[in-house]
Amino acid sequence: MRIANIVVSLAAIVAAPFAAAQDSTCKAPQTTQEVIRCEEFKLKDAEQALNAAYQRLTRELQQKGNEAHEREAHALLVKAQRNWVAFREQDCKAMVTARGGGTLQPWYYLNCMRSHAQLRTKQLETFRSD
């Protein structure tokens, strides 16, 4: 347990300067590279939220997996998520390709991926709501 705490503390110390740089640069990005880099940060945050929502839901379904329908729901969710990952990538590639080239092409791709991740997070968070 102590080792885990030390690792987490060291990770926070190492990451702090990068987070500060992200905040100052992303408040008013000046170059195309900065705009793209800021979108990468936003996508990373959206991916973390998506993964957390997915993990919570799969854990919940596994814990309640005594019933056949819960086990089936878990298996179907895992399959659906794998299919969604492939869909998202292809959808964003198609959207970017349709726009043509340009220096902001990576930004469009990252923005599309982030938008999909945010929508999927909301879907997963309300998966079991009535």
Is 18 within 8 Å of 44 (Cβ atoms)?
no
Among 55, 22, 66, CA closest to 40: 22
Predicted pLDDT of residue 18: 45
How do residues 5-46 score in pLDDT, each as one tens digit?
A: 443 343 444 444 444 445 667 888 889 999 999 999 999 999
Predicted pLDDT of residue 63: 83
Pick the CATH number of 31-125 from 3.40.50.1370, 1.10.1530.10, 1.10.3720.10, 1.20.1270.180: 1.20.1270.180
Rounded CA-CA distance 99/12 in Å is: 39
Q: Where are the domains of the chain?
A: 1-28, 31-125
Among 52, 51, 27, CA closest to 37: 27
